[in-house]
Amino acid sequence: MRDLDAHVARALALVAPLAAERLALGGALGLTAARDHAARDASPPFDNSAMDGYAVRSADVQGATPASPVVLPVAGETAAGAPPGVVPAGHAWRIMTGAPMPDGADAVVPVESTDGGVTDVTMTASVGEGRHVRRAGEDARPGDVIVHAGQCFTAVRAGALAAVGVATVDAVRAPRVAVIATGDELVDVGEDLAPGQIHDSNSVLLAGLLRQAGADPVVIAKVSDRPEELLARIAAVDADLIVTTGGVSVGAYDVVKEALAARGVEFVRVAMQPGKPQGLGLVNGTPTVCLPGNPVSVLVSFATIVAPMLRRLGGDSGGGGIVDSRAHEAAVVDEGWSVPPGRRQFMPVRFTAAGTVVPATPGGSGSHLIAGLAAAEALADVPAGAERVAPGDTVNLVRWSR
């Protein structure tokens, strides 16, 4: 059996980063930055107040207490969105959160420490210089790199770029992926099941996993166990990656193996559970991954083999391992389970209220337990050689979307 890391290395050797394209910021969500993206504007763009209150020269309110308040005339006011005013010495300036500091002021007295006056204001607390003032550029200065090449444009990073005035970005285009489920037993969800039939859930699962990973599932198809049908479907595909499910094992009707073994795909057994039977190769020049049919095996194979390929296609330079090298996570196990001999195990787990993990499906690791998988929040990555995972053990976690 082939070691999983060796298999992933071969998978990564099949793919190379795709070209970049210029996009509006909002259209780049989930894609990878093709270059560093720097701030155009400062954040904050100007000195402004962190509080509703009064901008003052801090020296003018020194020593103010409830017992000996300081009274200052109010020279004017600024709301957020208005240009800054000018506060003369010995005066206060009414100001709202986010409004620009008036020239002359160096601190803000919150309204709670005043009587809220509009012509004169009584201050019952002093403030130090700079208090409650948000300085221009303290968050970012023009030219500061906000998103680095190779990082994903997440919602948070898009928000950060918007704040510093970046409206257009260069992103690696989304990988175009064809999903082909195989099996005579498959019918679309929404249709009634005749005896022996099951709903094609792998297509739905894979298309969703691809979307969540920032890829574009351009083909979502299901074919029968006839090799000609599979080959015709593949011949019509224009994609960066083909992912098939089912038909890779040792059964009499293992269509994928039958059709693709002589066309560039190598079928191997990988030392993991689930997901042992796997195929990998170039079909008509297109990187092709053939996953087993069991739905839990599909999820595990996606997280361990397909996701790193998508990251490489998307230009991610981050190591190319199973897990994004910057996203390691671990958890303590609350309820143990057994581990198959000689195979690295990926157990679907869910979190307890205490932050520990337990198997997501009662009874453990059946690779057909797709409905039970709805409770899963992560995969516990258990090294080969362990006999059991016991309560109190720490396990590494693998996620399947970013």
Ligand X SMILES: Nc1nc2c(c(=O)[nH]1)N[C@H]1C(S)=C(S)[C@@H](COP(=O)(O)OP(=O)(O)OC[C@H]3O[C@@H](n4cnc5c(N)ncnc54)[C@H](O)[C@@H]3O)O[C@H]1N2
Residues in contact with ligand MOO by the rule CB under 6 A: 273-276, 292, 294, 297, 367
Q: Could you tell which of ligand MOO, ligand X, none binds residue 126, using a CB distance below 5 to 8 A set by kind?
A: none
Q: Segment near ligand X (CB under 6 A), from 72-80, 289-297, 339-347, 377-385?
A: 289-297
Minimum distance, C-beta of residue 346 to ligand MOO, in the bound complex (Å):
10
Measured between alpha carbons, how far is 279 from 261 in angstroms, rounded to an integer? 9
* Contact flag: residue 277 with ligand X (CB under 6 A): yes
Phi-psi sector, 223: left (phi>0), alpha (psi -120 to 50), beta: beta
Decide if 6 contacts 155 (C-beta within 8 A). no
Our CB check for ligand MOO shows the closer of 44 and 183 to be: 183
Q: Which of 78, 245, 278, 365 binds ligand X (CB under 6 A)?
A: 245
Decide if 340 contacts 271 (C-beta within 8 A). no
* Contact flag: residue 294 with ligand X (CB under 6 A): yes
Q: Could you tell which of ligand X, ligand MOO, none binds residue 254, using a CB distance below 5 to 8 A set by kind?
A: ligand X
Which tokens in the block code for residue 262? Answer: 């002589």
CA-wise closest residue to 335 among 363, 367, 297, 373: 363
Sort 353 into a burial class: Cβ within 10 Å, 0-12 / 13-18 / 19+: exposed
Residue 263, SS3 per DSSP:
helix
Cα 178 from chain centroid?
Answer: 22
Our CB check for ligand MOO shows the closer of 104 and 372 to be: 372
Amino acid residing at 395: V
Q: Which of 78, 113, 288, 297 binds ligand X (CB under 6 A)?
A: 297
Minimum distance, C-beta of residue 268 to ligand MOO, in the bound complex (Å):
12
Our CB check for ligand MOO shows the closer of 227 and 292 to be: 292
CA-wise closest residue to 379 among 270, 272, 278, 267: 272
> How many CA atoms lie within 13 Å of 391's alpha carbon, on the beta-carbon side?
2
Minimum distance, C-beta of residue 50 to ligand X, in the bound complex (Å):
55
Our CB check for ligand X shows the closer of 48 and 367 to be: 367
Q: Segment near ligand X (CB under 6 A), from 1-9, 143-151, 259-267, 294-302?
A: 294-302
Measured between alpha carbons, how far is 370 from 376 in angstroms, rounded to an integer? 10
Near ligand X in 149-208, by CB under 6 A: 181, 183, 185-186, 198, 200-203
Q: Could you tell which of ligand MOO, ligand X, none binds residue 43, using a CB distance below 5 to 8 A set by kind?
A: none
Our CB check for ligand X shows the closer of 82 and 193 to be: 193
Q: Could you tell which of ligand MOO, ligand X, none binds residue 102, using a CB distance below 5 to 8 A set by kind?
A: none
Which tokens in the block code for residue 189? Answer: 């969800």
Amino acid residing at 124: T
* Contact flag: residue 366 with ligand X (CB under 6 A): no
Our CB check for ligand MOO shows the closer of 151 and 294 to be: 294
Amino acid residing at 311: R
Beta strands in 34-132 (DSSP E): 37-38, 48-49, 53-56, 70-78, 92-95, 107-110, 120-123
* Contact flag: residue 293 with ligand X (CB under 6 A): yes
* Contact flag: residue 249 with ligand X (CB under 6 A): yes
Measured between alpha carbons, how far is 264 from 287 in angstroms, rounded to an integer? 10
Minimum distance, C-beta of residue 148 to ligand X, in the bound complex (Å):
38
Task: Enumerate binding residues for ligand X (CB under 6 A).
Answer: 181, 183, 185-186, 198, 200-203, 245-251, 254, 274, 276-277, 292-295, 297, 367-368
